[in-house]
Structures are given as structure tokens and as C-alpha cells.
Amino acid sequence: MPGNSPAKVAVSTTINGQSHDFLCQPRQSLLEVLRDTLQLTGAKEGCNNGNCGACTVLMDGEPVNSCLVLAVEVEGKQLTTVEGLANKGVLHPLQQCFLEGAALQCGICTPGFLVAAKALLDKKPNPTEEEIRFSLAGNLCRCTGYDKIVRAVQAAAEQLQAEEAPLPSSAAHQQAQQQQ
Amino acid sequence: MQGSPISYSDKKYQVLGTRPIRHDGTDKVTGRAIYTNDVHFPDMVHGKILRSPVAHARIKSIDTSAAEALDGVVAVVTVKDWPDLKDKMADLGEGAVNLAELGANCMAHDKVLYKGHAVAAVAARNVHIAEEALALIRVEYEELPSVLWVQDAMHENAPILHPNLRTDHMGKPGDHPTNIAKHLHFETGDVDAAFKSADVVVEREFKTATVHQGYIEPHNSVALWNEDGKLKIWTATQGSFTCRHQVAELLQIPISNVTVTPCEIGGGFGGKIAVYLEPVAALLSRKSGRPVKMVMQRDEVFEATGPTPGSYMKVKLGATREGKLLAGDATLAYDAGAYPDGVIGPGCMCVFSCVELPNARVHGYDVCLNKPKTQAYRAPGATQAAFAFESVMNELAESLGICPLEFRLKNAAKEGTRRVDGPVYPRVGLIECLEAAKNSPHWNTPLEGPNQGRGIAAGFWFNIGLKSSVTATVNHDGTVNLLEGSTDIGGTRTSIAMQLAETLGISAEAVHPKVVDTDSVGYTDVTGGSRTTFATGLAAYEVGLDLRKQLCQRAAILWECDPSEVTFKEGTFVHQDKSLTFQQLAAQLPETGEPVVGRASISKDVSTNGFGVHLCDVEVDPETGKVRVLRYTAIQDAGKAIHPSYVEGQLQGGAVQGIGWALNEEYYYRDNATMANASFLDYRIPTCYDLPMIDTIIVEVPNPDHPYGVRGVGETPIVAPPAAVAAAIYEATGVRMFELPMSPPKLWKAISEKNA
């Protein structure tokens, strides 16, 4: 019924490694709560219906359109937003490669691309161009023609691979055993 | 593939041509950059607009009482709250605008002219309550017949949108009601005689669908009308001063009462020059006494903001057996949308712009119909015209048995060529672009496989000059703060700062550019017309000269000599055996007097010229009509590429918008004149999975109208793609397509008819 706003619900969640408690109405999207309630405005509103990917965040490591997730659904979840990519004053290699590769023009889609690309590289450190294009197909960019975005993700993948100094084979074997 | 530019200049630069990280980059990769939707005030309320569900109707009544009574609603406005604007015109830099029509487009008066036309607006505690309130507003419509296609709207029995409209025939008014707002006519030479003497003549008709700019950030604005009468606006606009002017005129308040802060802008492409939300948010703020934020939803962006015209075109070209063009005749009819003044003018100016054509005639028609008012979209009007013209060029080349690239080289516009609308080109770079195409790896690699084809097309767009202002302050650490009024949509802070850095002999990083509000810098025209790097860059060069002069005077004080005896060379101030770098001199400035502040403003009437040539390889699935772009190369004369990465980015982005226009973008209308695909999912701009890498070749033929030879590059890249894609499809299938988009159903049908 118009005017009768539904009662608010308390939600506890983890965002970029920090615990957050907030109150929200059941009808509010995660995007709305991130931006308006928690002032985390890095996730952008481009379409509000899951088509453009500008609001992409990670929920338990999976990329989701935060405009399509109800805020009440993130109870107990681990969220990562673009604000969580840089680590104590050091940009994530993806962020650095986007800058060096001029992979943004207006920048409105950039947070979504960065988060979606992180999800890809977390799972697949050495993706092919085809895999990058497939994984980022849910993120729209109208400025760049995607060329420099794909190249920046390739460059970041190479950089991340190089950073993970190859372990001597015995050490790698030991580590594998420990994980088992 | 991105290599070094092919340069036709022997000038050497320190900063220009390098690829520094953009100044605003870190803010944009960390999510810290402030776009309009990120502006927040503690007592802010949210506005929403009620829009017409029908395409054409008289508004009989509006009852807002139930909405006003809803708890949480703080203001409701309708057209009753607007000043009466008569037929007042305002010059907004890129041309005159009829204020009554601009106002009526923001909030319908007695009639709604398209589905999505704004009818009323509500501000409420939150967006959900505002939406609930919209549902409580009762509007009674008397529906009228509507018209959606430009040729139908030109018909004498068509439903009339504006009963008082008369056709403007090159300044002379017509005598009967019509939807044809304007008839343009350009002619040079003896066209009919030239066609008679031509050995080969090709004439074709073309149609293009309405398409949208498709910026990812929807229109959004925040307005705060203070109790002292001062109105503050934060908004996504390509021109803060143009926005200020429109809002002040629409609300009939002094421009000095309005401050517009241009926030970071999430794409514009010409569609964020006219105001939509700003005056509505202002009125809601005045009525409620609260700051008001308004954010469009995506269907509102498609249905109520500027798409670019659908068009009908007929182009005829005649040439000698040897392949010399003799005559051209073009008729272009572009829809203007609901109100007059679409983009037919530049369409007419561009249609024959890539060739030397001694005998040419163009008729252009600006036509109103029941779609949203069209707006500029990247080289407005040129892409449609180039699709028609370049397609006829390709067919003519085939008829003559000449390679389409050689045919273009033989007839290319060059220095001294007169365009059909009058202007004579100074030094331009089309021939150099064609040579670059001819020598490119792409052109020299054969296609492999069945159902593949390669196409070529050229494109042209202007660089407008207009007005720009900048101020610059020298810091004691040897850096310079640069204040400018040009909204930065794609890296222009950096391309402008680099021109100042070059002028002062300092690094790009030593200049700190900032885009400021309309109270904080001199008047600056829109970021549009490919003018920003060119014209505001020119202002940055001029302010560099101003600072250099002042610093020579300061060095003279230190060295106790006459300022005329101090010279500036390669970043160093010199007098006899004494010298100081910019940084060294900056450190000593406090000893020499007052702070050093420079200023520059420019007003350029010139329109300079940007040419490009595109190559496209496709593979067509004959079973479905689906086209896959296999390889693409965009070649363009940038004059001097200030920051090559961002020039490449413009070429790539423009090419991909053109590919989308060519292959699948269109406003798809239902029988009841409403748009069926008003979402990104259904309208479907290209995704990265649809595309290959986009290769670029930058050609540098210096622009004689700029000290560093700069040409704006933003718009030309969208012009050639549809014709280049069409030519590739023809080579792959033997089918010539005369209609955009060349979507699978249309292409499949054409292939089936050919095979039948």
C-alpha cells in the first residue's frame, strides 16, 4: 500500500574484510544500500536492471550485479567492492594496468570491469583472450571499444603470474601435500 | 596493433606524443571519482518523473492531489509551475535553441509528443515513495494519431505535431501546416549537365533506424535552490556553462544566480548537452526547500532523451570511365524527433565531404515526428550520410572496375577542395589516411575462408572552435595548477595539461588540471564538436605563453636586466651566461613579487577538419544472417596525437559504436508507437564478446589552425563503420544492404532473396 514503508531488517555482512551492520527495507537492492546507506559509491548505477554490470561486486567470490541482489540477501556473506581492491595504499595490478593501458575513458564502467576481471583472474590466472571477452561480456563499456580493457586484463594477468615467484619443485610438492 | 603515428611533421616535442597516466586516473580506478549520483546531502530528497504512456495525445487534465497527500512526498510539479516561455530563442554555442520547445521537452505543455514525454514530477523522502506517488497522479489523455517514420511524417496527410509549424525553406516560411521544419539546399556547378556527361551513374536509396548514444551513466542531476535565490546544480553535462544558460533561461532567473558544477560524466557522445532533469530538479527543490536528486532509469534514457535520427536518403553519383567523379546529388531526410532542429545541417555538409566534386546538389529535410527529440550523437548527421555516400562510392568503383581504395585516392578531398556548402579545405589528411590504409598490414593480408569479405569506407567530421577559458597558477615547487571549464569525458584533462606542459617545458605530471564550476573559470563552450583537445588545448597553450612572459619578467628582476633580454628555450630561462629551469625559477618567485597567475581565453570561428579511413573484415553465417567482425582497422589524421593512447581509444570506441549502429542497434517500435526494446538487454550495444581487437593507425598531418597541429579526433571514428561493414558484407555474400541495422533477420532475408 502506498506510503506504508515496510519495516526495516537488520543485516550483518562483511565488506572488504570489515564487518558491517545495517538496517534496510526488504525492497532495497544491495546497490542502493551500498551507495545510499553505507556511502560506498564505487559501484555504479548504470541500468538498475542487471544489464550493464557497472554495479558488479563479489559475493563470496562470485561476481554479481548488486542491483539484482536484495540487501537482505547478503546476511553473513563476504562482499568485495571496488573500494576493496587496493591494498593499504597500493593499487591492485588490475587497477595499475587499467591506468597504464588507458583502459578507461569516462570511467563509469571501470569499477564493474575491475571487479569482474578480479573474479576472473582469481579463478583463472592465465585466461585466453576469448575467456577474458566471455567473462567480461556482462559489463558494458560504450567508450573504449573494449580493446584496451582486454589488453589491460591480459597485462594484469601477466603481472600477477610474475609476482607469484615460482616455487622450487620440492617446495611446491610440500605445499601441495600440506593442502591435502 | 598500436604503433607509432605516421607523422608528416618534422617538429620534435618533449611531452606531446608521450603516454603519461591520466591525472584523474587513480580516482577512477578506485571508485573515488565523484559522478553526479555520488553527490549526497543529509537532507536530500529524491525526484521522479511521470511520463506519457502514449506517443501523441492532448493532455485534458492532471490531478496530483493524491500524490501530494502521500506521506513522504515533499513536492509535486507540473507545467503549471513553469514560467511562460513564448518563442524565445537562446544561443547555446552549438546553435540557437527555441526555449519554449526546450522547456516543453522537459515538461509537456498541452500535448505529449512521444512516449516517455515528461508530464509531472514528484520529490519524496526516498525513491520508492516517489515512485508510489507517481502511480497516484491521474492524467487524462485524448489520444491523437502518431507518426514514426520520416517519409510518413513528410506526407501531406500525416498527423501534424505542431499546428503552427511552417517549413523554413532556406529562410523563407512555407504556407501550410507541416512536419517538415526545415528544407536545406546546397548546390554548386551544373549538376544536371554533369550527370549527362558521366559514363557511369549509380543511384541508391537508404534507410537508417533511430539509435541511441548509449552512455552507461544515465542522466542524473542534483539541484539545491537556496533561500537566497541562488540555485546550485551538480549534474552530468558536456557543458556546464551551456547547462547554466539553459536552466537560467528556462526558469527565467539571472545566469549569475545559477552555479553548475560539472561532476565526472559517464559518457555523453552529444546526448548530454540539452537539459532534461536540471530544471525539474530545481523546481522541485524550490518547492520543497530541500536538495533534490534525480536519476533516470534506463528505459527513461532510451525513451525520453536524445537518440539520433532515423533517416531516409537518396544518393546519386556520376563518374567518367577513368574513375573521375563528375557529379553528385543527394536528398537527405532526417527525423528531428518531437521538436524541430535535428542534425540535418551537418548531414548535408558532410555527405560529399570526402571527395572533390565539382558539380553537387544536396537537399535536406528536418522532420518532426512522435519520437523523443533527437540530439547530437558523435559526428551528428554524418554517419547516416556516409553510409549512403560511401556505399554508392563502393558500388560505383565496382561498376568501373576500379579498386575502391584507388577510386577514393583518385577523388579524395584535399587542400583547396571546396565542400558543397561552401568552405574550402586548408591542409587536410585524407590522402595520407588512404595511403596508410593501402600500406597497412590489414589491407595487404588476404582473407581466408568462405563467407568472408573486406570493406573500406572513409569518414569526415569538423572540429569546432568556439570559446574556452583557462587560468593557471605557478606553485613554488615548479608545478602549475590549471583550472578549466571543459568537462573531461575521455581524458581531456591530460591532453590539455600536456599542451601547457609542452609550452612551459615541464612534465605532464607537473601540471595539475582541474575542471571547475561555472563560478570558478571563464566561459567555456561544450565538450563537443571534437573541440576540447583542439580549442581548450589552444587556450592551455596561450596561458603557457602568458606564464612564460611573466616568468621572463621575474627572471629579469633576479638578474637585474631588461625582460626583453631573457629568452625561454627548451624549458629554461636564459640571460647571457645565466640560466634557470622553470622549476628553479618557480622556487625563487616569492622573492620577486606577487604570485604568478596566468589567464587565457580563446574564441575561434574556424572549423577544422578530421578525416578517417576504416577497413573491416567480416564473416557472414548464411544460415542465420549473423555477421562476425573478424578484423578492423581505424585510420585517422589526428594532426598531432597529444596522448596517442587516448587517440587510439577514440578511434576504437567510435569504430565500435559504428559497428553497433551497423549491425544491431535500433529503436524497435510496436504497432502502438511504443518502443519495445528500451533496455540495454534488448537494445544491445556491442559487448566485448562481439568484437575483435580494433587496430588503429594514427596519421599526423598538422592542422594549420593550431600551434601544435592538433586536430580533434573524437567524432570522425563513428562515421565510416556502417559503410565499411556493408561493403564487407557485400564481398562476403554478394548482397548489398541499403538499410541499417544490417541485423540477422534483414541480412538473412536479403541473402535468401538473392539465392531464390
Which grid coordinates are listed for A123?
A: 579463478
Residue spans per domain, chain B: 423-461+609-756, 465-604
Residue A60 has pLDDT above 80, yes or no: yes
pTM above 0.90, yes or no: yes
Q: How far is A179 from chain B (nearest CA, A)?
A: 34
Per-residue pLDDT band for B19 (boundaries 50, 70, 90) equals very high
Question: Do residues B257 and B229 make contact, with C-beta atoms less than 8 angstroms apart?
Answer: yes
Residue B146 has pLDDT above 50, yes or no: yes
Q: Please tell me which of the candidates A51, A91, A106 has its beta carbon nearest to residue B679.
A: A51
Q: Please tell me which of the candidates B40, B135, B691 has its beta carbon nearest to residue A2.
A: B135
- Tens of pLDDT, residue by residue over A141-169, are 999 999 999 999 999 999 999 988 665 55
**Which of B29, B43, B127, B294 to mutate to test binding with chain A, by most A CBs within 10 Å of its CB?**
B29
- Tens of pLDDT, residue by residue over B565-623, are 999 998 899 999 999 999 999 999 999 999 999 999 999 987 789 999 999 999 999 99
What is B465-604's CATH number, 3.30.365.10, 2.60.40.420, 1.10.150.120, 1.10.630.10? 3.30.365.10
B 30-49 residues inside an 8 A Cβ radius of A: 30-35, 37-38, 40
Tell whether A125 lies on the interface with B, counting CB pairs under 8 A: no
Predicted pLDDT at B68: 98
Chain A residue with CA closest to B656: the answer is: A145
Q: Looking at this predicted complex, what is its ipTM?
A: 0.97
Predicted pLDDT at B93: 57
Predicted pLDDT at B88: 75
The percentage of chain B sitting over the pLDDT mark of 90, rounded to a whole number, equals: 95
User: Which residues of B fall within a CB distance of 8 Å from A98?
Assistant: 25, 29
Mean pLDDT, to the nearest integer, of B212-222? 98
Chain A residue with CA closest to B124: the answer is: A3
Q: Is B639 left (phi over 0), alpha (psi -120 to 50) or beta?
A: left
Chain B residue with CA closest to A28: the answer is: B128
Which grid coordinates are listed for B654?
A: 567510435
Number of H helices, E strands in chain A: 6, 5
User: Which residues of B fall within a CB distance of 8 Å from A148?
Assistant: 645, 648-649, 652
User: Which residues of B fall within a CB distance of 8 Å from A99?
Assistant: 21-22, 25-26, 29
Which grid coordinates are listed for B204?
A: 541508391
Mean pLDDT of all residues belonging to chain B = 96
Fold category of B423-461+609-756 in CATH: Aldehyde Oxidoreductase; domain 4 (3.30.365)
Give the burial string for A134-158 (b: 16+ CB within 10 Å, else e).
ebbebbbbbbbbbbbbbbbbbbbbe
Contacts of B98 (CB under 8 A, 6+ apart): B87, B88, B89, B339, B340, B341
Q: Do A145 and B72 touch (CB under 8 A)?
A: no
Chain B residue with CA closest to A45: the answer is: B217
Q: H or E stretch including B292?
A: strand B292-295
Residue A127: cis peptide before it, omega within 30 degrees of 0: no
B 631-690 residues inside an 8 A Cβ radius of A: 643, 645-646, 648-649, 652-657, 679-681, 685-689
Predicted pLDDT at B571: 87
Tell whether A145 lies on the interface with B, counting CB pairs under 8 A: yes
- Tens of pLDDT, residue by residue over B407-438, are 999 999 999 999 999 999 999 999 999 999 99
Query: What SS3 class is residue B267?
Result: coil
- Tens of pLDDT, residue by residue over B79-94, are 999 998 876 777 665 5
CA dist B504 and B734 (Å) reads: 57
The percentage of chain B sitting over the pLDDT mark of 70, rounded to a whole number, equals: 99
More confident residue, B84 or B106: B106
| Nearest alpha-carbon partner for B667 in B376, B301, B218, B326 | B301
Q: Do B264 and A106 touch (CB under 8 A)?
A: yes
Q: Do A99 and B29 touch (CB under 8 A)?
A: yes
B 469-498 residues inside an 8 A Cβ radius of A: 489-491
CA dist B545 and B14 (Å) reads: 17
CA-only gyration radius of chain A, Å: 18
Tell whether B262 lies on the interface with A, counting CB pairs under 8 A: no
Tell whether A27 lies on the interface with B, counting CB pairs under 8 A: yes
B 123-142 residues inside an 8 A Cβ radius of A: 127-129, 132-133, 135-136
Q: Do B30 and A42 touch (CB under 8 A)?
A: yes
CA A38 to chain CA centroid, Å, is 17
Predicted pLDDT at A51: 97
CA dist B77 and A158 (Å) reads: 56
Residue A124 has pLDDT above 70, yes or no: yes
Pairing, β B694-700 against β B626-637: parallel
Q: Do A54 and B216 touch (CB under 8 A)?
A: yes
Which grid coordinates are listed for B171?
A: 529562410
Q: Which of A154-168, B196-210, B464-478 has the lowest mean pLDDT?
A: A154-168
User: Which residues of A fall within a CB distance of 8 Å from B71?
Assistant: 3
Contacts of A1 (CB under 8 A, 6+ apart): none
| Nearest alpha-carbon partner for B107 in B90, B85, B125, B140 | B85
* Residue B396 CA: distances (Å) to CA of B198, B391, B754: 12, 9, 20
Per-residue pLDDT band for B559 (boundaries 50, 70, 90) equals very high
Per-residue pLDDT band for A179 (boundaries 50, 70, 90) equals very low
- In degrees, rounded to 5, the angle at the alpha carbon of residue A63 between the alpha carbons of residues B126 and B296 is 30
Residues in chain A: 180
Give the burial string for B38-72 (b: 16+ CB within 10 Å, else e).
bbeeeebbbbbbbbbebbbbebeebebeebeebeb
Tell whether A143 lies on the interface with B, counting CB pairs under 8 A: yes
Predicted pLDDT at A2: 56
How would you write B612-658 as a 3-class SS string?
EEEEEEEEEECCCCEEEEEEEEEEEECCCCCCHHHHHHHHHHHHHHH
Mean pLDDT of all residues belonging to chain A = 92
Residue A1 has pLDDT above 70, yes or no: no
Mean pLDDT, to the nearest integer, of B459-463? 95
Predicted pLDDT at B584: 97
- In degrees, rounded to 5, the angle at the alpha carbon of residue A99 between the alpha carbons of residues A95 and A103 is 95
Chain A residue with CA closest to B69: the answer is: A3
Q: Please tell me which of the candidates A40, A108, A134 has its beta carbon nearest to residue B266.
A: A108
Q: B169 - beta bridge partners?
A: B172, B183
Tell whether A110 lies on the interface with B, counting CB pairs under 8 A: yes
Choose the most confident range, by mean pLDDT, from B293-302, B521-530, B597-606.
B293-302
B 72-91 residues inside an 8 A Cβ radius of A: 72
Per-residue pLDDT band for A180 (boundaries 50, 70, 90) equals very low
Predicted pLDDT at B756: 87
Predicted pLDDT at A117: 98
| Nearest alpha-carbon partner for A30 in A57, A62, A61, A60 | A57
Predicted pLDDT at B264: 98
More confident residue, A109 or B3: A109
Tell whether A127 lies on the interface with B, counting CB pairs under 8 A: no
DSSP A142: S
Residue B338 has pLDDT above 50, yes or no: yes
Tell whether A26 lies on the interface with B, counting CB pairs under 8 A: no
**Which of A5, A67, A106 to mutate to test binding with chain B, by most B CBs within 10 Å of its CB?**
A106
Question: Do residues A80 and A115 make contact, with C-beta atoms less than 8 angstroms apart?
Answer: yes
Q: Do B688 and A137 touch (CB under 8 A)?
A: yes
CB pairs under 8 A between A and B: 201
Identical fold for domains B423-461+609-756 and B465-604, yes or no, is yes
Predicted pLDDT at A5: 74
